[in-house]
Amino acid sequence: MLAVIVVVTALIWWLVSGAGDANETTASDVGQSPSASSPAMVDTTTEPTTSSEPVARPRTPTPTTQAPPATGSPRPTSRPTPEPEPRKPPPPPPPLAEPTGDCDPTGVDMAIDVADAKAGQSNTATFVLTSVDTPACTLSVTPATVVINVTSGDDTVWSSDDCPDALLAKQIVVRSDPPSSYEFTWNGRRSSEGCQLYDTLPEPGGYRVEAALIGGEPHEAYFDIT
């Protein structure tokens, strides 16, 4: 019983002494605290915290080694060269028509090609012959089948009748395609009967080559002597 009394007495004493200290603290705080209208001061300083866990450090980037960009032109890639395709041979030309007989003088067309010449020089005329009746025929060129004259106006300067040997005898196959040709060369001099040549030369001016198959139409071509 005595022990209970002692415990109760000590408890009462502790309560009384603790309350007095609390009142003193309250009064002291009231005297020192700012007025109710003043805002309370708040300490915003953050105390560093110490943690037992390790702090993660930023990872240092590892430098990478890259090849510098190429400064020159890009190297072309090699491609296999295709083999050229074999060329097809051209078709063979059609065979030439074979003559079926002698040419009819009226069935042969003639064109004369002659250039200008200088006085006293020879001049060559080309006769282009084309068959207009048959695909091909044979023409015998002789003084008996062809007449050639060189004229100037009404003047006959040279004639194959005077110089028949000037015509080269030749057999020609005349076709409708391609044409054939015969060449005659004039010596550039005036002729006479018996193929006597004059000493005087033809004067400069305009001249014609006239030719005809005996029994056919005459043809002519113009040229100048300078």
- pLDDT tens by residue, 39-55: 444 444 444 444 445 45
Task: Check if the beta carbon of residue 218 is closer than 8 Å to that of residue 110.
Answer: no
List the Cα angle 73/75/77 in 5-degree steps. 145
Q: Calculate the alpha carbon distances from 15 to 11, 18, 26, 146 in Å.
A: 6, 5, 16, 170
Please state which CATH number belongs to domain 105-225.
Answer: 2.60.40.2360
What pLDDT score does 87 carry? 84
Mean pLDDT of the chain: 79
Highest-scoring range by mean pLDDT, 33-47, 117-131, 186-200: 117-131
What pLDDT score does 42 carry? 41
Task: Check if the beta carbon of residue 204 is closer than 8 Å to that of residue 226.
Answer: yes
Domain ranges of the chain: 105-225
Lowest-pLDDT choice from 61-70, 83-92, 182-191: 61-70
